[in-house]
Amino acid sequence: MLTIERIMKKLYALLLGGGLLVSSSCSDFIDLTPTHSLSSTTVFGKLDDFEPVLNGTYASMRDLYAYGLFQSVMPDMMADNTLETTESLVNYKAVTDWTYAADQLRVAEVWRFSYLMINDANLILQNITQFESTNPQRANRFKGQALAIRGLMHFNLLRYYAPNFDRNSTAPGIPIKTTPVIELPGRATVKEVYDQIYKDLEAALPLLNDVDAAINTNTRRSRIDAATVNAILARVALYAKEYDRAITFATAAITARPLASRASFPGIWTDANADEVLFSIQFNPGEGGPALDVWSPATNRAQFDPSAELLSLYDAAKDVRYTSYFTPGASVPGSVNRATRVVSTKYQGKGTARDGAVNFKAFRTGEMYLIRAEARALSNRATEALADLNTLRAARIADFTPRTETGQALLDAIATERRKELWLEGHRWFDLKRTTRVVQRVSCRAGVVCNLPASSPKWAWPIPQNERLANPNIAQNEGY
């Protein structure tokens, strides 16, 4: 397994071809001494050289251990939104039944792959300074994206490996990596990790507002721009319970990308449009897809079904999300064996394709309304919170009559709407972790672990064993 230290030793040998494109199909790399070495000045001799490295980092986000599974649909698979079926290949049972351990592949690869992308960002940031005076706006475009990627990846790591999300927590978080040099850092506190995440994202924002060319278009949202950074900051602030900041950043993202209409909403999921998409991970044919381990369109294997409890929350006749996310099994070709079940077809493919190679929407305006609603409700701004919630519900549900929830009922309604709106978008496990810290799987099938109590140490993943063997400065989480 590659540790943080060994990543650095392999770095320049892997840079050619555009970023750290690494295989995740096996648990280890063969350490070969390269027949040549590359210096930073050789790799980054001109501004044009930053583009392929940045492109390679975005391509890496498609990996199974990034947004190809673990940062996309795995948080639903780990929680109460899905139930494992008899068709499961049980490839992820240790994760979805919370029996993970420090020496397991899945735990180690999520860690490793996130730090690989952080190192890509660090290489760009270390070498971009020499070009900032000659073409500042173009340099801003590369530097701003690299800072945002570094902040986002540290946040993604924090979500899995930290025991809590309290803004000023002195509990161990994760190692902070801000330079591509060989070092063996200990775990920073959760507070220190938040400090670094905010620092990176807030530094990226003015840079991405002063660039030489548009980073995205209205129909292509596969790069991080200023609107994306506001969305990332809104999510971070919600986790940190800094509600005023969450409101500010969510509002900026909403202004940049308004909610999709009910008519255009289904097209988001076939990539017919990018309405309300703030940032998506691009999957092309042959590059996998974000939800193939939930339901594979090509083979029609449903390894995880949406839970009956989740399905009962939707108005199947009026809620556009129900028909956009789910299909009755009898309507899916070749589904005789699951005709009475509901299939998760949210990520079926682009257009009419049935290959699962559809873009993963990492940040959407629907989430921003829910962030702002929750932050307002917890800031004694209930009227505004309810308005946000009703705006979202009216955009999704035909003939919706505004509701009048207050107090705890309002908070419960926001939580329910998050569950419905953000199905298979990387949130449910972490929403439970940051609030109730309880998983209760209803109608749980035989062979599936059904409940995870708040007291369980499994809410924080273990630090990978190989990392600890290579780095004596890094402490393990409690319970492992």
User: How many angstroms separate the most distant Cα atoms in the chain?
Assistant: 69
In-domain check, residue 375:
no
Nearest in space to 8 (alpha carbons), one of 152, 185, 179: 179
In-domain check, residue 159:
yes
Tokens (6 digits) for 424: 């298979």
pLDDT tens per residue across span 345-370: 999 999 999 999 999 999 999 999 99
**pLDDT of the residue at 17:** 29
**pLDDT of the residue at 18:** 34
pTM score of the predicted model: 0.92
Tokens (6 digits) for 179: 């330079």
**pLDDT of the residue at 46:** 94
**Domain end call among 303, 338, 358:** 358
In-domain check, residue 25:
yes
In-domain check, residue 87:
no
> In total, how many domains does the chain have?
2
20, 108: one domain: yes
Which residues in the chain show pLDDT less than 70? 1-42, 335-336
68, 182: one domain: yes
164, 312: one domain: no
173, 295: one domain: no
In-domain check, residue 207:
yes
**Domain end call among 358, 374, 394:** 358
**Domain end call among 358, 379, 403:** 358
Tokens (6 digits) for 361: 């929407």
In-domain check, residue 431:
no
User: The CATH number of the domain where 467 resides is what?
Assistant: 1.25.40.390
In-domain check, residue 458:
yes
- CA distances to 3, 208, 227, 282 from 230, rounded to whole Å, are 32, 11, 5, 20
Residues 121, 355: Cα–Cα separation, whole Å = 31
351, 464: one domain: no
298, 150: one domain: no
Residues 108, 397: Cα–Cα separation, whole Å = 41
Tokens (6 digits) for 61: 């986000």
208, 59: one domain: yes
- CA distances to 57, 69, 165, 283 from 63, rounded to whole Å, are 10, 8, 26, 10
32, 169: one domain: yes
In-domain check, residue 416:
no
317, 193: one domain: no
Long-range contacts of 21-25, Cβ-Cβ distance < 8 Å, separation of 24 or more: 21/56, 21/59, 21/60, 22/60, 22/63, 22/113, 22/116, 24/63, 24/64, 24/65, 24/109, 24/113
**pLDDT of the residue at 445:** 83
164, 76: one domain: yes
Domain that holds residue 303: 289-358
pLDDT tens per residue across span 127-183: 999 999 999 999 999 999 999 999 999 999 999 999 999 999 999 999 999 999 988
Per the listing, tokens 């329910």 go with 416
Residues 369, 392: Cα–Cα separation, whole Å = 7
